[in-house]
Amino acid sequence: MHDSVTVHMAAPPQKIWELLSDVTRIGRYSPETFEAEWLDGATGPAVGARFRGHVKRNGRGPTYWTTCTVTASEPGREFAFGVGSSTNPLNVWRYQLVPKGDGTDVTESFALAHKWPMRVYWALLGWARGRTNRNGMRTTLERIKAEVE
């Protein structure tokens, strides 16, 4: 109930981190989440900060807002957020940045909560959603790469 995609980018980790941790830019990169905004007076990626994302599931719909909470925010290294409850998220999305050669290996990943409804969902539809998530992560990272290089 998790997967990841890694793309090498010829750019320093800090430059990449600044783009992917600014959730107000997500619509430029994600094929599903087309806009996001910070909530409760938050203005940037601090642990505990909340934002909401406007999602068009599978690029077709349904369209809905989802609330997220930043769970990791280490400039130049990691940015992660949980979807749903701040104390018990249904899904955690994570970006990890590792300097390598002429740039940075950037890994985007997701991990679904180990709850029985999520396990049933993954058992029945995981093959399709997993493929969609992998394609979406690759698209997101390739769009970030195009901007930073």
112 pLDDT band, cuts 50/70/90, is confident
- The candidate with the shortest Cα–Cα distance to 8, out of 137, 138, 145, is 145
- The candidate with the shortest Cα–Cα distance to 68, out of 111, 27, 23, 100, is 23
For residues 118-133, average pLDDT: 78
Give bridge partners of residue 2 from the DSSP assignment: 111
Res 25 pLDDT > 80: yes
- 130 vs 139 pLDDT, higher one: 139
State pTM to two decimals: 0.91
- The candidate with the shortest Cα–Cα distance to 1, out of 123, 132, 140, 112, is 112
User: What domains can you pick out in the chain, each with its CATH number?
Assistant: 2-148 (3.30.530.20)
List the structure tokens of 138. Answer: 């690759």
List the structure tokens of 54. Answer: 């406007």
